[in-house]
Structure 1
Amino acid sequence: MSRLLAAVSLPLVAAVLASCSGGDSAPEPSAATATSTPAATPSTEPSPTPNPYADRSDAFRNRQLLLAAGSGNADKISLLVEAGVDLETRDERERTALLIASARDHVDAARVLVAAGADPDALDDRHDTPWLVTGVTGSVPMAEVLLAADPDLTIRNRFGGLSHIPASERGHDAYVEFVLDRTDIAVDHVNDLGWTALLEAVILGKGTEPWQRIVDSLVQHGSDVSIADRDGITAEQHARRLGFGEIADALERARS
């Protein structure tokens, strides 16, 4: 009986082994099959950030523009310009954003406004313009920005003066030199007080180095030293009376 089982089992085992190792075995995977498909790389480009002022009211945008000009927030002004804000909106003193930025010497804010087309000649309730207030602040960088907007240099302030006259009074020597060098402003313009920039630099100045440099700049740019005030007193005579010897001597040399 055991011999019979052995005879039957041996062929059966042989058949099983042949089926496992024979030509019907599964093929080796190809290179294309072995390589897994890489996963799609997610996009790293950020989604565009929506403009926070795009869907706000005109009144809201206008208020925000004036606030941004006052604080010098150039980035905020850029967003408001992009959202279509009214560049010539006014505050309670009739000041535009550009005038506010100019008065506070926020140069970057003013640069954005000028590039967007803001008016450099917009008058407020004190008859100041963005350009005129640079004569008060004496800011050369701001004057440089505003010159790109082609301001009207003939507009007068509430005292009938041009920008270089208050600058001469206040001792803004670098500003006076810049304006005389870069513009065709009327150097001997007479304001409502009857004073030129030269007379104002002497009468209201301190006679120290900044005012000495202003007098030199005015003379070098053709200021007429013989022009007198309404009482017939020249800048040189005022300088002698006030004890401004250096200025008086410079004006005497210019006269001779």
Structure 2
Amino acid sequence: MKTLWLILWLALAGVGAQAQVAPSAAEAAAYTGLHAAALHGDVARIARLSASGSAPNTTDGNGRTPVHVAAFARQREAIRALAKAGADLNLLDRDRYDAVTIAAVADDEATLSTLLQLGASAKQVTSRYDGTALIAAAHLGHDGVVRQLIAAGAPLDHVNNLHWTAVIESIVLGDGGPRHQATLKALLDAGASTQLADRAGHTPLTLAKARGYSAMVEMLKKAGAR
């Protein structure tokens, strides 16, 4: 029953993970070795397989390592065990996502904290958009995740291939509500630029005004936006 629940959860996670692709139910059911152990959080099995020579960075058909699988499944102790076995926490899957971005998109602060504590980077360029975990989290209004990533040194003013920064995405892809406001505040408090504009030359202040996001407008003005 527990296995069935986990497989169903992973199938749903693929929907909730936006452009990310979590293991499908069929993939999860077919996993063996370290991928299966990571999926189920079987720390003892991870230790046994690693001791017997299993490669910690082996990939599935979508380029997911056991660390990616553990991140999708929120198996934090499995991530710790894999790191101890020498797994690279910063590898990208075929869709160019790393474990940090997977946790960030899922609003999974606990898994993100584990990854960062173990040395995973918050600075990688990820996804088909040449973005970062910070931009993805800002887009979704995951303010707690944003604060963690900022504290871990995520690049505040990275510009993705849509020509958007985290500040811009918190506005143009947000709903102007409390969590996106908190996200914008965290970025501004950390010193993110208010002047970097989108491809059409629209500044964050112009974009917030156009959407009627009055609270964001006031925050930007206080931060010196023009």
Please give the TM-score of this superposition, normalised by the length of structure 1.
0.71
1:75 aligned residue = 44
Q: Deviations 1:12-39 (Å, cap 9, x if unpaired)?
A: xxxxxxxxxxxxxxxxxxxxxxxxxxxx
Shift of 1:82: 3.2
Residue type matched to 2:102 in 1? V
Q: Deviations 1:39-77 (Å, cap 9, x if unpaired)?
A: xxxxxxxxxxxxxxxxxxxxxxx8221112223333332
Residue type matched to 1:78 in 2? A
2:58 aligned residue = 89
Identify the range of structure 1 (110-119 vs 152-161) with the bigger mean alpha-carbon deviation: 152-161
**Mind listing any 5+ residue stretches in structure 2 that lack a counterpart?**
1-30
Q: Deviations 1:128-182 (Å, cap 9, x if unpaired)?
A: 122232221222222222224433444311211111100011111101011112x
The answer as to whether partners of 1:190 and 1:196 remain within 8 angstroms in 2 is: yes
Give the alignment of 1:62-141 within 5 angstroms.
Answer: 63-141=32-110
Q: Distance in 2 between matches of 1:130 and 1:194?
A: 24
2:138 aligned residue = 168
**Mind listing any 5+ residue stretches in structure 1 that lack a counterpart?**
1-61
Q: Distance in 2 between matches of 1:141 and 1:81?
A: 25
- Whether 1:206 aligns to 2:160 is no
- Whether 1:193 aligns to 2:162 is yes
Residue type matched to 2:168 in 1? L
Shift of 1:219: 0.3
| Aligned residues: CA RMSD | 1.7
Q: Distance in 2 between matches of 1:237 and 1:227?
A: 11
Q: Distance in 2 between matches of 1:179 and 1:154?
A: 9
The answer as to whether partners of 2:56 and 2:82 remain within 8 angstroms in 1 is: yes
Residue type matched to 1:123 in 2? L
* Number of residues of Structure 1 aligned to a counterpart in Structure 2: 194
Q: 2:202 aligns with which of 229, 233, 243?
A: 233
- Whether 1:180 aligns to 2:137 is no
The answer as to whether partners of 1:135 and 1:165 remain within 8 angstroms in 2 is: no
2:124 aligned residue = 155
Q: Distance in 2 between matches of 1:145 and 1:84?
A: 25
1:145 aligned residue = 114
Larger radius of gyration: 1
The answer as to whether partners of 1:107 and 1:145 remain within 8 angstroms in 2 is: yes
- Whether 1:219 aligns to 2:188 is yes
Q: Distance in 1 between matches of 2:211 and 2:108?
A: 28
Please give the TM-score of this superposition, normalised by the length of structure 2.
0.80
